[in-house]
């Protein structure tokens, strides 16, 4: 039986987080959750894994360190001149170049991580997106079998939210968040 | 934070209201600043046409106002990152209302600072010589030189602070996109990169922001350390000192915090931000200025102590001359404005009074500009050999360029605060939610 998509919106984070917990325990899939700020209650209720952005940052940092150090050593080796009495491969000054490049490339890696993982930039917003999600309201897109629709709507109402059925062809759900 | 009665809606509405069509007074101010920029550009054009000799810098003072202003603006840039990164890591809630404007100040201050090495080059079209690029004679920049460290550090700092600033603004740009129509909606749609506030976006965003803060913290310390090594790695008495790195970092934060007050106090009044940027926020900045002022004062004393304790007659002469010689007025302005006047902020009534805070912030800015003057000019003007001693005074062309760059900074800042969100709305909403939870 095809599933129905329900968009539930809430005026406060606590109600949204309670609904999320209830939906997770009743095994309803959570497709998308919107919030105007990174509320810790919601993030806790979602029990999400840590973002892999850090790996991008780390790779960037390692690349930067070796690029900065490597460039300094390579260029100094081109003429092998003693400058200011320092050795041709002068580790202390080259460490400064390596350090600055580490930070620079880490940050570039960090940004690449954010853009690729959060799939930005996007040209289209999801159809169920409401402008109020960037203001003060919280939204949860879930789905259920048509038989369970009233139960889910009742749950949303009980938690203080407003539920709306969204046509499945409107949702364009591409990635389903796994629930335990 | 003192904003317990604030609501998310109020914060959002207050900030959106600041983007209302500007008044005639605003455009008049912008126009006057643009005129100042044109004056500076004309002076720079004249210098390019005639030669670097139109400036007052000459033997033995080869680094005049161009380098003074470079160090001054890099210093101003520092407190933006302190507020946005270091205080973020310390979870200091009072930073939220001022973080955006401080970051903006950082970005524009680095841009302004970055102009000065170009101006000082004289033949600016040869600037690419500083870049490490493959060329037919295999000539590369000397990576052992502190000036090359500086190029790398400042360009890294500009890149990092700009990206940090923009990333922090993404959710706020989405707020504006969803509330405006017409051309502004189109602009904010492009700038917000399609941000929707989905849980997946927040998951990656919060992590990215944390790493940004963690990376910007050592960077901010390293950048002004590197700037200080432009001086400390030479053997000039007055420059060759191991305390220069922490001394410069503390001085940078001192001047930057003063500039934050100088910008925030009028901004708060004009944009009716009194409920967002509360007196407690300004008081906390003032308390930090006391701390940095004490560190700077300690550094001034240390320099004299080391000159006396080392029994180095050149060092002793240099520092005695600094306090009693040609530039004694500049020296005492520096000492009084940077180390003594901030001590008045120990009095609660002073640090909670807007006119006092504004006045002290201006004096600290003046004092910090003179600190750069005393260090840069005062040291080389009175070096090792008496026959090479000489004085320096900026020429009218240098003054014009300086005016132009000051106008440029305020011009960019004014344009930003009237057309973009000058307070981090999303961070404020998060802080309000946390405060309500604790309540």
Distances (CA, A) of B345 to B103, B281, B339: 24, 14, 11
* A112 and A64 inside one domain: yes
What pLDDT does residue B70 have? 96
pLDDT per position as a tens digit, A79-96:
888 877 889 999 999 999
Task: Place A2 in a pLDDT band, splitting at 50, 70 and 90.
Answer: low
Tokens coding B16: 């959106």
Q: Are residues A35 and A57 in the same domain?
A: no
Q: Span B157-183, mean pLDDT?
A: 96
So what's the pLDDT on residue A180?
34
Q: Please report, for the domain that includes residue A16, its CATH number.
A: 3.30.70.120
* Domains of chain B with CATH codes: 8-122+143-433 (1.20.1630.10)
| Same-domain status, A40 and A59 | no
> Is B174 within 8 Å of A129 when comparing Cβ atoms?
no
Name the band, by pLDDT with cuts 50, 70 and 90, for residue A173: low
Percentage above 90 pLDDT, chain B: 86
pLDDT surpasses 90 at B92: no
The answer on A111 and A58 residing in a single domain is yes
Best CA proximity match to B98, nearest among B149, B155, B168: B168
Nearest CA in chain B to A81: B142
In 3D space, the residue among B63, B1, B18, B85 whose CA is nearest the CA of residue B372 turns out to be B63
Q: How far is CA A150 from CA A19, A141, A157, in A?
A: 15, 15, 10
Average pLDDT over residues B76-91: 85
What number is the ipTM of this complex?
0.93
A165 inside domain: yes
Handedness of CA B151, B157, B163, B166 (dihedral sign): negative
The verdict on A112 and A134 lying in the same domain is no
Residue A84 lies in a domain: yes
Chain B hits for A103, Cβ within 8 Å = 156, 160, 215, 218-219, 222
Cβ separation of B199 and A177 shorter than 8 Å?
yes
From B144, which residue of chain A is nearest by alpha-carbon distance?
Answer: A93
Q: Nearest chain B Cα to A36, which residue? A: B197
Instruction: Of B437, B438, B427, give the one whose Cα is nearest residue B93.
Output: B427
Whether B175 contacts B12, CB under 8 Å: yes
Reply yes or no on whether the pLDDT at B325 is more than 80: yes
Contacts of residue B313, defined as CB under 8 A and 6 or more positions apart, other chains included, come to: none
pLDDT higher than threshold 50 for residue B317: yes
Q: Please tell me which residue, B334 or B84, carries the higher pLDDT value.
A: B334
Checking if the pLDDT of B3 tops 80, the result is no
Alpha carbons B91 and A15: distance in angstroms, whole number: 26
The mean predicted confidence, pLDDT, of chain B is 94
Residue A140 in domain: yes
For B399-428, give one letter per residue: b (16+ CB within 10 A) or e.
Answer: ebbbbbbbbbbbbbbbebbbebbbbbbbbb
A31 within a domain of the structure (yes/no): yes
| Residue located via tokens 């402008």 | A131
Count how many domains chain A has: 2
The Cα–Cα gap between B265 and B282 comes to: 8
What's the confidence (pLDDT) of residue A178? 43
For chain A, the residue count is 180
- DSSP track, B348-404: HHHHT-HHHHHHHHHHHHHHHHHHHHHHHHHHHTT-S-GGG-------HHHHHHHHH
pTM: 0.93
What percent of chain B is modeled with pLDDT above 70?
99
Residue from B16, B96, B200, B220 to probe the interface with A (highest A Cβ count within 10 Å):
B200
What pLDDT does residue A148 have?
87
Structural domain boundaries enclosing A83 = 53-117
Please give the full DSSP string across B202-233, using - where no structure is assigned. HHHHHHHHHHHHHHHHHHHHHHHHHHHHHHHT
What does the angle CA B37 – CA B152 – CA A72 come to, to the nearest 5 degrees?
150
Residue A169's pLDDT band (boundaries 50, 70, 90)? Answer: low
| Residue of chain B minimizing CA distance to A117 | B204
Q: Which residue has the tokens 């900045």?
A: B285
Quote the pLDDT of residue A179: 40
Q: Is B171 exposed, middle or buried (0-12, 13-18, 19+ CB in 10 A)?
A: buried
- In this prediction, residues B155-169 reach a mean pLDDT of 95
pLDDT at B83: 82
Question: Are the C-beta atoms of residues B188 and A148 closer than 8 Å to each other?
Answer: no
Question: Does residue A131 sit in the same domain as residue A46?
Answer: yes
Helix axes B244-270, B65-81, angle to 10 degrees: 70
Task: Indicate if the pLDDT at residue B91 is higher than 90.
Answer: no
Helical spans, DSSP H, in B233-353: 244-270, 279-310, 313-324, 328-335, 348-351
Taking only the tens place, the pLDDT of each residue in A39-58 is 888 888 888 889 999 999 99
pLDDT of residue A26: 85
One domain for residues A163 and A130? yes
CB B276 within 8 A of CB B428: yes
Give how far B154 is from chain A: nearest CA, Å. Answer: 9
Question: What gap in Å lies between CA B436 and CA B428, rounded to an integer?
Answer: 12
A164 phi and psi angles, rounded to 5 deg: -145, 135
CB of A140 less than 8 A from some CB of B = no
**Contact flag A53-B204 (C-beta cutoff 8 Å):** yes
The string of DSSP codes covering A28-41 is --EEEEE-SS--HH
Same domain as A109, residue A61: yes
Tell me the pLDDT tens digit for each residue of A5-36.
Answer: 999 999 999 999 999 999 988 888 888 999 99
| N-terminal to C-terminal alpha carbon distance within chain A | 22
Taking only the tens place, the pLDDT of each residue in A144-160 is 888 888 999 999 999 99
pLDDT in tens, B413-430: 999 999 999 999 999 999
A93 and B144 within 8 Å at the Cβ level: the answer is yes
The mean pLDDT of chain A is 88
Categorize the per-residue pLDDT at B10 as very low, low, confident or very high, splitting at 50, 70 and 90: very high
Residue B264 has pLDDT above 50, yes or no: yes
pLDDT of residue A170: 60
The domain boundary, picked from A76, A91, A117, lies at A117
Q: Is A154 a member of any domain? A: yes
Q: Phi/psi of residue A34, each to 5°?
A: -115, 140
What DSSP designation does B62 have?
-
Q: Give the whole-angstrom CA distance, residue B370 versus residue A144.
A: 70
pLDDT over 50 at A177, yes or no: no
The tens digit of pLDDT for each residue in B381-390 reads: 998 989 989 9
In chain A, the percentage of residues whose pLDDT exceeds 70 is 91
Final residue in a domain of this structure, among A73, A89, A117:
A117
Residue B318 has pLDDT above 70, yes or no: yes
Residue found under tokens 């968040």: A177
Inside any domain, residue A180: no
pLDDT of B156: 96
A177 part of a folded domain: no
CA distance B17 to B432: 20
Q: Are residues A20 and A44 in the same domain?
A: yes
Burial (CB < 10 A; 0-12, 13-18, 19+), residue B136, is exposed
Q: Are residues A46 and A61 in the same domain?
A: no
- A58/A112 same-domain check: yes
Of B223, B211, B221, B371, the closest CA to residue B300 belongs to B371
Judged by CB atoms closer than 8 Å, whether chains meet at A36 and B152 is answered as no
Average pLDDT over residues B310-336: 95
Q: Which residues contact A160 (CB under 8 A, 6 or more apart)?
A: A10, A11, A12, A15
Quickly state the pLDDT bin for A168 (edges 50, 70, 90).
Answer: low
Average confidence (pLDDT) over A98-112: 97
Same domain, A24 and A67: no
Residue finishing a domain among A71, A88, A117: A117
Q: Is residue A86 part of a domain?
A: yes
How far is B145 from B142, CA to CA, in rounded Å?
A: 6
Question: For residues A116 and A100, what is the distance between their CA atoms, to the nearest angstrom?
Answer: 24
């Amino acid at each position: 039986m095809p599933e129905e998509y329900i968009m539930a919106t809430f005026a406060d984070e606590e109600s949204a987080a309670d609904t999320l917990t209830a939906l997770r325990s009743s095994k309803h899939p959570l497709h998308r959750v919107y919030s105007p700020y990174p509320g810790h209650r919601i993030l806790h209720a979602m029990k999400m894994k840590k973002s892999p952005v850090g790996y991008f940052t780390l790779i960037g940092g390692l690349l930067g360190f070796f690029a900065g150090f490597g460039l300094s050593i390579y260029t100094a080796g081109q003429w092998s001149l003693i400058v200011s009495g320092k050795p041709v491969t002068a580790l202390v000054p080259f460490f400064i170049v390596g350090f600055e490049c580490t930070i620079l490339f880490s940050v570039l890696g960090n940004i690449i991580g954010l853009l690729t993982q959060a799939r930005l930039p996007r040209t289209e917003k999801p159809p169920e997106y409401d402008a109020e999600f960037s203001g003060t309201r919280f939204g949860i897109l879930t789905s259920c079998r048509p038989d369970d629709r009233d139960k889910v709507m009742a749950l949303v109402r009980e938690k203080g939210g407003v539920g709306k059925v969204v046509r499945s062809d409107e949702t364009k759900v591409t990635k389903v968040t796994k629930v335990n | 934070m003192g904003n317990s009665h604030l609501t998310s809606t109020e914060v959002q509405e207050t900030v959106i209201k600041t983007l209302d069509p500007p008044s005639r007074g605003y455009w008049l101010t912008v126009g006057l600043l643009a005129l100042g920029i044109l004056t500076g550009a004309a002076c720079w054009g004249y210098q390019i046409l005639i030669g670097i000799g139109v400036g007052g810098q000459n033997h033995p003072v080869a680094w005049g106002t161009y380098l003074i202003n470079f160090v001054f603006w890099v210093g101003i840039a520092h407190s933006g990152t302190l507020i946005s990164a270091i205080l973020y890591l310390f979870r200091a809630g009072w930073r939220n209302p001022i973080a955006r404007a401080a970051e903006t100040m950082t970005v524009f201050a680095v841009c302004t600072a970055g102009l000065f090495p170009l101006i000082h080059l004289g033949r600016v079209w040869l600037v690419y010589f500083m870049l490490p690029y493959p060329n037919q004679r295999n000539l590369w920049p000397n990576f052992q030189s502190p000036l090359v460290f500086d190029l790398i550090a400042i360009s890294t700092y500009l890149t990092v602070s700009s990206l940090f600033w923009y990333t922090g603004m993404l959710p706020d740009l989405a707020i504006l996109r969803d509330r405006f129509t017409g051309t502004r909606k189109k602009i904010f749609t492009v700038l917000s990169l399609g941000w929707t506030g989905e849980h997946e976006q927040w998951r990656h965003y919060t992590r990215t922001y944390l790493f940004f803060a963690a990376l910007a913290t050592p960077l901010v310390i390293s950048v002004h350390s590197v700037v200080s090594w432009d001086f400390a790695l030479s053997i000039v008495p007055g420059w060759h000192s191991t305390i220069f790195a922490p001394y410069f970092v503390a001085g940078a934060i001192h001047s930057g915090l003063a500039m934050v007050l100088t910008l925030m106090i009028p901004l708060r009044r004009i944009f009716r931000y009194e409920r967002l940027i509360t007196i407690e926020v300004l008081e906390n900045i003032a308390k930090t200025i006391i701390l940095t002022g004490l560190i700077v004062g300690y550094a001034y004393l240390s320099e004299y102590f080391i000159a006396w304790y080392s029994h180095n007659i050149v060092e002793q002469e240099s520092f005695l001359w600094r306090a009693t010689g040609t530039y004694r007025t500049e020296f005492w302005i520096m000492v009084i404005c940077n180390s003594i006047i901030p001590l008045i902020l120990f009095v609660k009534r002073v640090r909670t009074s807007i006119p006092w805070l504004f006045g002290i912030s201006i004096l600290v800015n003046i004092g910090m500009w003179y600190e750069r003057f005393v260090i840069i000019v005062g040291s080389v003007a009175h070096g090792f050999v008496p026959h090479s001693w000489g004085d320096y005074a900026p020429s009218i062309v240098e003054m014009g360029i300086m005016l132009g760059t000051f106008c440029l900074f305020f011009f960019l800042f004014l344009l930003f605060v009237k057309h973009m969100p000058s307070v981090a709305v999303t961070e404020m909403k998060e802080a309000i939610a946390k405060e309500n939870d604790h309540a």
